[in-house]
Amino acid sequence: MITIGLALPHYDGFFPNPGVTGSHRTRRALSYAQRAEQAGLHQLWVSDHLWLDVAPQDRRRSPDCWTLLAAIAATTRRIRLGSLVTPASLREPALLVHQIATVADFAGERLDIGLGAGWNAVEFAAAGRRFSAAADRLADVERTAALIRTELGPTAPPVWVGGKRSGILSVAARIADGWNLAWDPTPAGYWQRLARLNAAQPSAREAAPILRSVGLTTVIGTDEDDLHQRWTRLRRWVPGGHLDGLSFEAWRKRGLIGTPDEVHSRLTAWESLGVDHVVCALGMPFGLFDDEQIDLLAAAARRAGATTTAKPLTQEERYGTA
């Protein structure tokens, strides 16, 4: 059964009110995490960057990924949560594993760890970290995953690896519990990369198949007119003018964009391709232009049979008391 996750909004101005920044941004992200849980979504995913540059001279900052995940874990009970994805080389490995272990204390079995090789040299420099050659960063992904499993032992959360290039696909094939491909792959593009993943997978892993997820831009309109109205609002809202020059018909071919019937059809198609989980970006990755989209997404998930499956924590599990 396919499950549905939300790319949680948490960058400056990535909310229906673009003026939400700083500490208000962090509190708003927590409120949307709770709303997503109440709506019945399966999972929340948090991006791990210091900032995103959406246009020249337009830098949008973010709360720290693992601090935010700790806060989400402490204020929710059922929904799964994870990073999408943490650049393995961006922190000292021992520090990262310590952060992960703390979040796991709050989240219990609800945590997933997404790892990647990282791509933003400027960000690495700002964090005081060396942006090494690709081969070294790929090796860091493997070393970090091994350290997580060693330090956290049999309770270690699942490790997901995100990416689409041959090097990271080879790493995922060797060490990952799950693999994510984002954003907005076509079915043909997904199959092409899946073939590379499978070709690199050791025969010893056949008994433990890798879970698969895709990240898809998602906008749901209640009907054709409503979808067109939401498109008009989204174009005005999206930072950096990234939808300027794109037609409505070209835009709606992306990801999970359409009426409820269209979204259901696309979810069914992805499930038939063997996708286990879909990460939905409501308008843009880690943004939200319209509060109602969370409820419309939850309704689409229920229609597809994709409901929350995370086990609630008992009070004793959560706080260590009876």
Residue among 160, 165, 170 at smallest CA distance from 200 = 170
Strand extents, DSSP E, the chain: 3-7, 43-46, 51-55, 58-61, 80-83, 86-87, 111-116, 159-162, 178-181, 211-220, 256-258, 277-282
pLDDT tens by residue, 209-268: 899 999 999 999 999 999 999 999 999 999 999 999 999 999 999 999 999 999 999 999
Residue 238 has, within 13 A of its CA and on its CB side, a CA count of: 19
User: Which residue matches tokens 């994709």?
Assistant: 306
Do 196 and 259 meet the contact criterion of CB atoms below 8 Å apart?
no
Angle between helices 93-107 and 134-152 (to 10 degrees): 50
Residue 215 has, within 13 A of its CA and on its CB side, a CA count of: 26
How big, in percent rounded to 5, are the helix, strand and coil portions of the chain?
A: 50, 20, 35
Joined tokens for residue 237? 């809202």
Could you give the CA distance from residue 253 to residue 286 in angstroms, rounded to a whole number? 20
For residue 309, what pLDDT is reported? Answer: 46
Do 71 and 22 meet the contact criterion of CB atoms below 8 Å apart?
no
Could you give the CA distance from residue 249 to residue 192 in angstroms, rounded to a whole number? 25
For residue 126, what pLDDT is reported? Answer: 97
What stretches in the chain show pLDDT beneath 70?
204-207, 307-322
For residue 306, what pLDDT is reported? Answer: 81
For residue 202, what pLDDT is reported? Answer: 84
For residue 204, what pLDDT is reported? Answer: 63
Could you give the CA distance from residue 110 to residue 73 in angstroms, rounded to a whole number? 8
Could you give the CA distance from residue 229 to residue 59 in angstroms, rounded to a whole number? 28
For residue 207, what pLDDT is reported? Answer: 61
Residue among 177, 179, 158 at smallest CA distance from 100 = 158
Could you give the CA distance from residue 13 to residue 25 in angstroms, rounded to a whole number? 8
